Amino acid sequence: MTKKCPACGAKIYREKAYYFCPAGLSCPTQLIGRVIHYGSRNAMDIKGLGEETAKDMVEKDLVKGIVDLYKLTVENLLELESYAQKSASQLHSAIQETKNPRLDRFLYVLGIRHVGRRIP
């Protein structure tokens, strides 16, 4: 196993059988994963916010944290690959519609380990 995170260079640590990068959201790969999780169907269900869009947002420094999604304008979204006026407007609207989520979605989107949308 590598000793440093290939994305951010932070020293990797081991916890039981798993290896982790301690950088959190300052690691671009973890931020992309968090944005994908946030927009997923079981979380906020943001239509149009998939893996490629999340990656493009992070690479273009449009998103440095989840809260930055709500600061995006249609003009910002036009900077993304393959986004025209209509698709940028639709994604912007889809993001804005998630400002008041249901409690189960909100708890799930926090990404707390061992917490899902349903608790048995």
pLDDT value, residue 77:
96
Report the mean per-residue pLDDT for the chain: 92
pLDDT value at 120 more than 80: no
> Confidence band (pLDDT; 50, 70, 90) for 117?
low
Note whether residue 64 is domain-resident. yes
Note whether residue 1 is domain-resident. no
Give the tens place of pLDDT for each residue, 60-69: 999 999 999 9
In percent, the amount of the chain with pLDDT more than 70 equals 97
Give the tens place of pLDDT for each residue, 4-29: 999 999 999 999 999 999 999 999 99
Q: Look at residue 20 and give its three-state secondary structure.
A: strand
Range of the domain at 79: 24-109
> Confidence band (pLDDT; 50, 70, 90) for 110?
confident
Note whether residue 29 is domain-resident. yes
pLDDT value, residue 9:
95
Which of 61, 87, 66, 88 has its CA nearest to residue 77?
Answer: 88
| Displacement of CA 97 from its chain's centroid (Å) | 16
Which of 34, 43, 85 has its CA nearest to residue 63?
Answer: 34
Note whether residue 11 is domain-resident. no
Note whether residue 58 is domain-resident. yes
Q: Look at residue 18 and give its three-state secondary structure.
A: strand
Task: Give how many domains the chain has, as a whole number.
Answer: 1
pLDDT value, residue 67:
95
pLDDT value, residue 112:
79
Contacts of 115 (CB under 8 A, 6+ apart): 107, 108
Note whether residue 116 is domain-resident. no
Note whether residue 84 is domain-resident. yes
CATH of residue 92: 1.10.150.20
Note whether residue 119 is domain-resident. no
